[in-house]
Structure 1
Amino acid sequence: MVESEGSNQAEKRDVAPSTALEYLDPSYWDERFSREEHYEWFKDYSHFRHLMQQNVKPGSSVLELGCGNSQLCENLYDDGVTDVTCIDLSAVAVERMQKRVQSKGYKEIKVLEADMLDLPFGDECFDVVIEKGTMDVLFVDSGDPWNPRPATVARVMLMLQGVHRVLKPNGIFISITFGQPHFRRPLFDSPEFTWSVEWNTFGDGFHYFFYILKKGQRSIDGEKPGNKLPVPSINLLHEELESEDYLFRNLIDEMDC
């Protein structure tokens, strides 16, 4: 059943937090997931499917960080990528996602309660790791985006170290985010990582970033052709002004002031 646009927007207003700091509170997510059936941060799969298919092949073992109630794992499954493991910190999200994928017959999809800052997996066990809007939550109390707080940097680096560890040689980390390259590159390009860094953009008014980090393929200077792209201007559509993506971005901007 397809929800009406009006009811969907009413639900978004009902579950959206009053301050960005609530996104760091696990109880907020438990309460939200207990009431919300589905929400796609940063557009649905159709907007970046072409980018995903270029980098994630059938037969790939995939780890999704912070699955929430997104349909990303189901979209991947429908495209032939069936070896998918989803994790989320919220026990409520995990329980509901487990029931959902089982009811739809996606038997190979595994959904686990786990912390992306302490991944409970062995070294080099996934071909692809994907996060979609999950890392952005770590930045809600970052302060100046040009010089984020040390605690923020430490959390982000802990996440990236875990991702790098569980990726197989030549594995790929895909990060779908608001974060622009001049803010993300200093973290992605840390000397301890062996991945190359490339990106594309997608979206209409908002332009989201689709980063592709390929382990073991870092060049000497860290640059790849096509990376020096101008940041697109923002020309918001009405439905984007109504979206939680827009609210989320504004809440963070307000905290950075």
Structure 2
Amino acid sequence: MSSKIRPDYGSAEYWDEGYINGSNRDSYDCYFSYDTIQNGFEPFFKPLKQENILILGCGLSTFGQDMLDAGFTNVTCMDFSSAAIRILTQRQRPPVDGIARLKYLLMDVRDMSAFSNESFDVVIDKGVLDSVVCGVSNSAGAIQMMDEIHRILVPDGACFIFSNGTYSTRAPYIDYNPTAWQINQITIGILVRE
């Protein structure tokens, strides 16, 4: 019986190789695109859409650009894959009135020390916690990630975690520190793939 070695989804090298050597250079949104959830998602934001938003593990997603197109004004996308950040930076639209409203940063969710405490109103994770949990550092890495998110969020900030995992398998990484979070499980929609 042969045992397959599981890829280290929590490593930058795994993702870099996929973006550099694979055919995965087109835009790709993990789980869903922004327009799929827009109507269920936007009511959680202020009407002027001026929140300072951080999108974790953006990969080659258009989610950040789609949020800008929907009227949000302060969106930062980060990933620890240098290949993804390089590709997205090359694709970036020209600045509007000399200001590039969408920022791309090379950074690991387990160490966001480049950000000051309480830097963001909203943090969005579409599959990053899943990748960290499935990586070699799994539990420790997931707890580091959640500690960093808590640190960079303003008081009363919001963290949206979109996961392929069940609530019972992801919640332990989020609420291990019960003073850090108020957790509300919200179903925005159910995706069915044929």
Residues 67 and 23 (structure 1), Cα distance of their counterparts in 2 relative to 1, 3 Å cut: same
Q: Report what 1:118 is aligned to.
A: 111
Q: Which amino acid aligns with 1:33?
A: Y
* 1:179 Cα deviation after fit: 1.9
Alignment of 1:199-238 (within 5 A): 199-201=185-187, 202-205=189-192, 237-238=193-194
Answering whether residue 36 of structure 2 is matched by residue 47 of structure 1, we say yes
TM-score w.r.t. structure 1 length?
0.65
Distance, in Å, in 2 between the alignment partners of 1:110 and 1:117 is 19
Contact 2:78 2:106 in 1 (8 A): yes
Residues 46 and 153 (structure 1), Cα distance of their counterparts in 2 relative to 1, 3 Å cut: same
Distance, in Å, in 2 between the alignment partners of 1:172 and 1:137 is 21
Query: Residue 81 of structure 1 is aligned with which of 62, 67, 72?
Result: 72
RMSD between superposed Cα atoms in Å: 2.2
Query: Residue 87 of structure 2 is aligned with which of 82, 86, 96?
Result: 96
* 1:75 Cα deviation after fit: 1.2
Distance, in Å, in 2 between the alignment partners of 1:97 and 1:182 is 34
Q: Which amino acid aligns with 2:34?
A: Y
* 1:19 Cα deviation after fit: 5.6
Q: Which amino acid aligns with 1:39?
A: Y
Contact 1:61 1:83 in 2 (8 A): yes
**Helix, strand or coil: the match of 2:171?**
helix
Superposed CA offset, 1:74-119 (max 9, x none): 1110111121111111111111111222348582111011111000
User: Which structure ranks higher in relative contact order (CA pairs < 8 Å, sequence separation ≥ 6)?
Assistant: 2
Distance, in Å, in 1 between the alignment partners of 2:5 and 2:30 is 17
Q: How many residues align?
A: 182
Distance, in Å, in 2 between the alignment partners of 1:20 and 1:104 is 41
Contact 1:40 1:71 in 2 (8 A): yes
**Helix, strand or coil: the match of 2:184?**
strand
Distance, in Å, in 2 between the alignment partners of 1:28 and 1:104 is 31
Distance, in Å, in 2 between the alignment partners of 1:37 and 1:134 is 19
Distance, in Å, in 2 between the alignment partners of 1:104 and 1:121 is 23
Answering whether residue 134 of structure 2 is matched by residue 140 of structure 1, we say yes
Q: Name the one with the larger helix percent.
A: 1
Report percent identity of matched pairs.
28
**Unmatched segments (≥5 aa) in structure 2:** none
Bigger radius of gyration, 1 or 2?
1
Distance, in Å, in 1 between the alignment partners of 2:30 and 2:6 is 15
Q: Report what 1:195 is aligned to.
A: 181
Distance, in Å, in 2 between the alignment partners of 1:115 and 1:141 is 13
Q: Which amino acid aligns with 1:69?
A: L
Distance, in Å, in 2 between the alignment partners of 1:126 and 1:53 is 17
Distance, in Å, in 2 between the alignment partners of 1:88 and 1:68 is 6
**Unmatched segments (≥5 aa) in structure 1:** 1-17, 143-150, 206-236, 239-257
Distance, in Å, in 1 between the alignment partners of 2:14 and 2:135 is 16
Residues 173 and 19 (structure 1), Cα distance of their counterparts in 2 relative to 1, 3 Å cut: same
**Helix, strand or coil: the match of 1:197?**
coil
